[in-house]
Structure 1
Amino acid sequence: MDSANMRWPDSLWAAMTPAGPQLPQLAGDVSADVIVIGAGFTGLSSALHLREAGVDVAVVEAAEPGWGASGRNNGQVIPTLSRPDPDDIIARHGIVGERFVALLRDSASTLFDVARRYQIQAEQEQAGWVQPVHSPGRMKIAERRVRQWSKFGAPVEILSRDQTRQMLGSDAWYGGFWNRTGGHINPLALARGLAAALLQRGGRIFARSPVVSFERLNNRWVVKTAKGQISGRALILATNAYTGEFAKALAPDIAHEVMPIRSWQMATQPLSDAARKIIIPGRQAMSDTHGELYFARYDARNRLVTGGALINTNDAVAKLKSMVAERLQLLWPEIGDVKFDYVWNGYVGMTTDFLPRIHRLGPDAYAWAGCNGRAVALSIALGDELSKAVRGVPESELALPFSEPTPIVAHGLLRHLAPLMLALYRRRDAREI
């Protein structure tokens, strides 16, 4: 994706979601109590929670609310991290890790509660999230995760092979687990709904205003764009995988500690009633244990929203349509002829250990990056937590495991080589553990 091109992606979400609010650009000198950079889930959640607390807040967005990863993803609402389990998080972060685990545990319900509270119509369905396992040995993964999350009160259950077959309508998996609080949404509708709720409560959003720099001057944070600047007491940087896309000097240490990986999403034509009675009849969200992930969920029009990954992106759309159609037919022969109406992509911010990074930037200034494919639920919950931080809630009460930025060595080179990791994932997927 060309970061200079702000055209909306040709996604299912962009095609089906009502237009967002008309927003001004940042021009001249402006001030606010808190400045938020980025109008994705984290930035909008932070700003909305700040307005509810009576704080004057302004959001500065490079394109439009939801234009980045928040509006391009699959919309699965998953209350876990992709790889680390609770014991891993606590081993790394201690007592604050326990608070972070509790935040993760409740993150899906937090998202659905926020949508209900602000009457956001985002096609939300809290039907649960399922992680089936693709080989017998990987049942150990499901058992470990259920054991660990159960200790913290998460509503998780192990699934036998027969239960998985009944829930998903396929013999492809050997069991798995599910979490009842998960589900799926239209992510762009959620982002635009959060933006509208913020504006209705007196918050400000400046769009089409890429931030080129921020700095601390005279005990204030000053954020500059091409046409103006805004100063504030506090700052939240909420740009995640897109941190270096519009201005490479914005926050290079943070931009270089995450690897922006292109994630391809696809939507089929609406499935027949007969197919839907077999294929995920309970409409849960599903993503399995493949490194080359198999994932799917329905949208409100009964399209199956899925996706894939490529090493070579030449003629990407045609390759993906052929590859993913074959995959769906292997998983669910009842699906018949598969045709895709929408194919789009965006970046996922990956870290080397699959843990998010949360930072103090200075006095009353914070940032986070590294969603690792779990940003939908996590971002909404972290936005609330970051709003507490800038309001002065003691660190001992926050679920924010702070660390120093750790840029990836040879980030530029590795970014070009990152698609080759798919070959390694395919080899690992083929092995039993």
Structure 2
Amino acid sequence: MTQLLTDEIHWRVTAEPAPAIDPLTDALDVDVLIVGAGLTGCRTALGLADKGVSVAVVDSQDIGFGASGRSGGQCNPIWRKTPQELKELLGQTHGETLVQTTLRAADDLFADIRTFDIQCDAVQAGWVQAAHTRKAVRNMRRLGEAWAEAGADIQELTGNAVEAASGSPAYQWALRHAAGGHVHPLSLTRGYAEAAMARGALFFRDTPVTTLERKDGKWQAQTPRGRVTAENVVLTTNAYTTDVWPGLKQTFHPLVSISIVTEPLSEDQQRSVLPGSVTISDSRLAIYYARYDRDNRLVFGCVGSTDHVDPLGFNRLRAGLQTVFPQIASIRIVRKWAGRIAVTPEMMPHLHEPAPGVLAGLGFSGRGIAMTSVMGRTLSKKLLGTPVSELPFPVQPIQPIPMHGLTRRLIPLAAPAMTLKDKFDSLVSRP
């Protein structure tokens, strides 16, 4: 396998053109200010602008700069908890609403893409969720049976059927989720932004919020060259959250997802690797995942340690690709990149309302493609007057993780530790 030292983010190279926006250089007065122009912020802006609400979206970098332009782009449409566990965690009302919302989440996402005519290479061909140990088989069988009983279209695969569905000989047991799929994540983000702009929303790049304070009954956000006054503020900065709102950054762990993309696969290779353009992810702590892009290149990822793909991370990716798809072990790698993901202690998103007129939605824990849209709709509904009891997520207080500063410093050790644990588990508990 040949390494090309190209640290370009693949999605930026292949995305639909970015909307032409500028930094904020004056004072604005709007109904809602959204801080963070990723998938959540852009979908929230679209939902509000579609109802005639005046919206300004600011980002310290640009539309889709963070995880929304760096993720694997896989739509994995169920949580890691069963429907009953969700009800126990969130309460019966919110839990049941979230279950029903989850069952529709993937279809709703692809319906959004059609409704707003978003060009993002969308493919809804299914997701293979593979188990790498006997313990994982037991846990995933329980998960699959519970969601199937709730109404999800899930098929259990065993033995040769796993390889037939995924092209990988590395697994003997998997779930196939018919609703799963994949998108170009940056093009989706830009598409949401363009649809919101067409409905009157204003977007500004290179515009970090430096202070946020209450003045004369409204919220005032100061930026380096401008100011926004708004009735309501929505914080959608996810793993790239700063200290603009006290304690918010301490409610999640900013883990790192690292990815590589290969040269295009031949037609013969495509028949044996992810046939039909399904996606795959597995049960490892340092999870392996893969999907095609529109040019039939394979995107392969796992958990990393830093904001760039260091040599150890690259070796982990290369070894993972050889493990999952040994039939293309010598394929040329073209690009490598990294991005942060926000992982909460419950592995579930958080909806916060830390003050009247301020909302925050973050912490998608690896389920961002489908669930950022769910959160975006939730935030816009909340602002448009939907009662909290009818939302899929409860409003919860900001609760910083104990010893967050220490654990944050230890995060670079997490990927090697998880990889070591995965290797041990594989040795003692093969499926």
**Residue of structure 2 equivalent to 1:5:** none
1:186-225 CA-to-partner distances (Å, cap 9, x unmatched) read: 1011111111111111111111100112222222121221
Question: Is the contact made by 1:268 and 1:342 (CA closer than 8 Å) also made in structure 2?
Answer: yes
Partner of 1:338: 331
Residue of structure 2 in register with 1:371 after alignment: 364
- CA-to-aligned-CA distance 1:79-133 (integer Å, 9 cap, x gap): 123x333222210111112112222222221211111111111011011111110
Does structure 1 residue 412 correspond to structure 2 residue 405?
Answer: yes
Whole-Å separation in 1 of the counterparts to 2:308 and 2:101: 41
User: SS at the partner of 1:325?
Assistant: helix
Name the structure 2 match of 1:403: 396
1:124-273 to 2 correspondence within 5 Å?
A: 124-244=122-242, 248=243, 250-273=244-267
Aligned residues of 1:65 and 1:207 also touching (Cα < 8 A): yes
Shift in Å, 1:287: 0.7
> Using the alignment, how far apart are the partners of 2:393 and 2:346 within structure 1?
17
The residue matched to 2:29 in structure 1 has which SS?
strand
Bigger mean CA deviation after superposition, 277-286 or 211-220: 211-220
**Aligned partner of 2:87 among 77, 87, 90:** 90
Task: Indicate how the Cα distance of structure 1 residues 273 and 180 shifts in structure 2: closer, same or farther if over 3 A, else same.
Answer: same
Q: How far did residue 423 of structure 1 move?
A: 4.0
Give me the whole-angstrom Cα distance separating, in 1, the residues matched to 2:406 and 2:66.
Answer: 23
Q: Which residues in structure 2 correspond to 1:380-391 (within 5 Å)?
A: 380-391=373-384
Q: Does 1:349 align with 2:342?
A: yes
- Counterpart-to-counterpart distance in 1, 2:395 and 2:420: 35
Of 416-425 and 342-351, more deviation after overlay is shown by 416-425
- Residue of structure 2 equivalent to 1:54: 52
| Structure 1 CA distance for aligned equivalents of residues 36 and 196 of structure 2 | 14
Gaps of 5+ in 1: 1-8
Partner of 1:342: helix, strand, or coil?
strand
Aligned residues of 1:79 and 1:107 also touching (Cα < 8 A):
yes
3-state SS in 1 of match to 2:272: coil
Letter aligned with residue 138 of structure 2: K
Deviation at 1:323, TM superposition (A): 3.7
Superposition deviation, residue 314 in structure 1: 11
Deviates further, 150-159 or 221-230? 150-159
Q: Which amino acid aligns with 2:389?
A: S
Residue of 286, 304, 308 corresponding to 2:280: 286
Residue 72 of structure 1 and its aligned partner are, at CA, apart by 0.7
**Range with greater deviation from structure 2 (96-105 or 263-272):** 96-105
Q: Which moved more, 1:65-74 or 1:334-343?
A: 334-343
CA distance in 1 between partners of 2:352 and 2:315 (Å): 42
Partner amino acid, structure 2, of 1:253: G
Structure 2: where are the runs of 5+ without partners? 1-6
How many angstroms apart in 1 are the aligned matches of 2:308 and 2:196?
40
Q: Which residue, 30, 39, 42 being the options, matches 1:41? A: 39
Task: Report the secondary structure of 1:256's partner residue.
Answer: helix
Output the CA distance in 2 between the equivalents of 1:86 and 1:317: 38
Q: Give 1:99's aligned amino acid.
A: T
Q: Equivalent of 1:299, from 276, 293, 296?
A: 293
* Partner SS for 2:210: strand
Sequence identity (%):
33
Relative to structure 1, the CA distance from residue 216 to residue 151 in structure 2 (aligned partners, 3 Å threshold; closer, same or farther) is: farther
Alignment match, 1:274: 268
Secondary structure at the counterpart of residue 268 of structure 1 = strand
Quote the Cα distance in structure 1 between the aligned partners of 2:206 and 2:192: 18
C-alpha displacement at 1:325, in angstroms?
Answer: 2.8
Contact 1:265/1:344 (<8 A) preserved? yes
- In the alignment, which residue of structure 2 is the partner of 1:308? 302
Between the aligned partners of 1:190 and 1:77, the Cα distance in structure 2 is 12
Listed one character per residue, the Cα deviations across residues 13-33 of structure 1 (whole Å, up to 9, x for unaligned) are 111113311112222221111
What is aligned with 1:4?
A: none
Measured against aligned partners, the alpha-carbon deviations of 1:275-321 in whole angstroms (never above 9, x if no partner) come to 1111111211111001111111001111110123345x699444444
CA shift for structure 1 position 161: 2.3
Contact 1:121 / 1:190 at 8 angstroms: preserved in 2? yes
Alignment size in residue pairs: 419
Could you tell me the TM-score, scaled by structure 1's length? 0.92
Matches of 1:209 and 1:314, distance apart in 2? 22
Is contact 1:43–1:59 with CA below 8 Å preserved after alignment? yes
The amino acid of 2:83's aligned partner reads P
The 3 A distance-change label for structure 1 pair 356 and 324 is same
Contact 2:213 / 2:221 at 8 angstroms: preserved in 1? yes
| 1:369, distance to aligned residue in structure 2 (A) | 1.7
CA distance in structure 2 between the aligned counterparts of 1:315 and 1:302, rounded to whole angstroms: 24
Contact 1:100 1:401 in 2 (8 A): no
Which residue of structure 2 aligns with residue 6 of structure 1? none
Q: Match of 1:324?
A: 317
